[in-house]
Every structure is written in structure tokens, then in C-alpha cells.
Copies of this chain bind each other. A is one copy, B any other.
Amino acid sequence: MNRTKIFLLACTALAATYAAAQSNDATHPPLQVPAKTLPVPTDVSPGMQSIIAAPRNPNWNQLWKTGEEWRTAANAQAAKSVQALPAMRQRLHVTVRPDTIDGVRVYIVTPDVIPPEHRHKLLIHVHGGCYVLFPGEAGTSEAIIMAGLGHFKVISVDYRMPPEAYFPGALDDAMTVYKAALKTTNPKNIAVFGTSAGGALVLEMMLRAKQLAIPLPGAIAPGTPMSDVTKTGDSFYTNEMVDNVLVSRDGSCDAATVVYAHGHPLTDPLLSPVYGDMHGFPPAILTTGTRDLLLSNTVRVHRKLREAGVDAQLEVFEGQSHAQYQFDDRVPETKEAFGEITAFFDSHLGH
């Protein structure tokens, strides 16, 4: 009986939490979480285990303050990252050709094989990198993966970045390319995709297209979008120091975004699109991981889309930190993520 009494007083999970919720006094103390040790998950592929096991990005708290500093850093990184691209293009049977569209630099990314049902379809890619990284060819990696695994023609936008242009330069350039595409391709046959800042730009493009009252595309794939750059979102806290890519909201990526914003309020839906009106958005597929610092940024956009009546599909990958579903075209999880995006585009484009 004593045991029962103790149990009645303490109660179990559901009842205890519920009861505490009921007696809430509107001041909510924060939750203290002790230090912990995270083993590398065993329920992902060996390739993805290696990506998850990588040490934290050592530069996560490098806080450059000017567009010029960021460009120096971005160029150095780009010089290194482009070295992996020729082998990737070869593996995926994709060719990449630089071009300009109405003055905006782009890369035309074409797979060797385009099946008949994709011949009239066109994808527009908006690369990530905190609005400052991956200039030039370095920004084509995800476009190559999409073209190679999905067998679509892709135009990757090499939008202007600081110090060449600040907000809304990246958005303006992406819109220029989108508007040009509308002249040659039925919007129902166009999809727009991108990851991180690229995912945010995809959403910002939809808000801008609504403002301009121009047709929206047939589908979008905003991957782990930087949809809220105001540090609102629970995973900014729960996944801090857990995500080995972004590591922390107080790190380099959001510092870069502040440089891009150039004094413009971060709450503007064209910088934090989770605050935009998403009614009328096209069908959307969103991708993230359980360790992603932007897990909340992603699921909040998913819920906003669903609340607005949009056909929106959410994919969350086990153990992955920010954007890791597009780090290596050779791991099964990457093929799976882009397989989902391809299937989504196949079922929503052309209708």
C-alpha cells in the first residue's frame, strides 16, 4: 500500500506531466540538461556513420563581420571544394556548363540520360552556404546530385553574394532566372529546390512570386531551410553542440546571414520565411535529420504549409546533422533522399 501511495503522489509519465501542465503559473523555468555522450548511430549506413562521426566543424564560431572577409573565406573554401566536382560529375554522368541568364550567372547542369517524361521538365537550383559561401562552380554540388540521381535538367543559380550584393541580391537573382524560365517552360513543369540558405531562398522566391502575382512552380523542395534566422526554434537549443555542421545558432552561419541582411530586419519573411503567408504555395517536400540544428526550422515550415492547406511531405533522416543528406552522392541515404525528391517531383510536376 505504501508503494501505491508513493506512486499516487509521484504518478507516472503521462499523468505527472499533464498535472504539472495544468498547474502552470505562466512562468516557465528552463530545463537543465546534463552533459552527455552520444555514440555514433549504428542504424545508418557505414558511409553515413562516417559523416555523423566527423568532429565538429572546427570553424563553426568563426564570426567574420564584413562581406569582404566572407568573400575571402568563401573563395578559399570554394577553391578546395571544387576539387571533388570532376569525379562527382563523372560518377553521376552529368555535364556542367557556365552561362548567364538575363545577366545572372548560372550553371546548366545536364545528365547524360534524360528520360522522355523529364524532357519538358526543368529544375532550378538555389545553393546553400549561409548566403555567403559556395560562389561559382562550388555551388553546383547539390545540382549535380539532383541531375545525376533524378535525371532532370537543372539550372543552378550562381547568385550574387556579399560584398558583390547584399539582401535582397540573392533573391533578386534567383527570381530573374525563375522569370526567364517561365518564358520557355510551363510553370507546372518547373520545380525549385535548394538546401539551407538555398532552402530559405526557395521559400522566399514563393513569397516574392506571390507578391508579384506571377505563376508559382509545380513543386518545391526546400531542404532544411534557414527559415528562421531570429534564433526562434527549439532545436537551436536541443541540437546545439549535437549538430556537427552548424554546431550553434551563435556560430558562423548566422553571422554570415547578418552580413547578407546588411541591416535589414531578420524578421522579414524574405529573410525568415517561416513568418510568411504560405497559402497557395506549390506542393513541397522538406528534408532534415534528427541532429539537425534546423530540425525545428524545417518542421515548423512543414506545419505552416500543412496549416495553409499545402500538400507538404516531411522526410527526417536518422542521426543526420544539418544538410548531411546531400554531402556524399555515394551513401545510400543520399540516394534515398534524392529518390524521394525525384518521386515527389514526378508525382506533382506536369499537372
Contact = CB atoms under 8 A, between A and B. Distances in A.
A242 B32 CA distance: 8
A12 B244 contact: no
Interface in A32-65: 32-43, 46-47, 49-60, 62
A57 B12 contact: yes
A169 B343 CA distance: 40
A241 B36 contact: yes
A237 B318 CA distance: 12
Given A59-B11, A244-B31, A234 B318 contact: yes
A18 B328 contact: yes
A35 B36 CA distance: 7
A59 B16 contact: yes
Given A29-B53, A43-B232, A233-B43, A13 B299 contact: no
Interface string A294-333: 0110011011001100000111111101111001100000
A214 interface: no
A245 B290 contact: no
Contact of A234 (B11, B41, B77): B41
Contact of A15 (B24, B32, B77): B77
B299 A14 contact: no
A35 B33 contact: yes
A8 interface: yes
A77 B11 contact: yes
B295 A245 contact: no
A73 interface: yes
Contacts of A240: 36
A235 B290 contact: yes
A14 B300 contact: no
A77 B327 contact: no
A46 B46 CA distance: 42
Given A4-B73, A245-B13, A18 B314 contact: no
A35 B38 contact: no
A16 B291 contact: no
A340 interface: yes
Interface of A: 3-4, 7-8, 10-22, 24, 26, 28-43, 46-47, 49-60, 62, 69, 72-73, 75-77, 79-81, 84, 129, 133, 232-235, 237-242, 244-247, 252-253, 290-291, 295-296, 299-300, 302-303, 306-307, 313-319, 321-324, 327-328, 336, 340
20 contacts: A3-B73, A7-B59, A8-B76, A11-B57, A12-B77, A13-B245, A13-B246, A13-B252, A15-B80, A30-B40, A31-B37, A31-B38, A31-B242, A33-B37, A37-B237, A38-B238, A290-B299, A299-B316, A303-B318, A314-B314
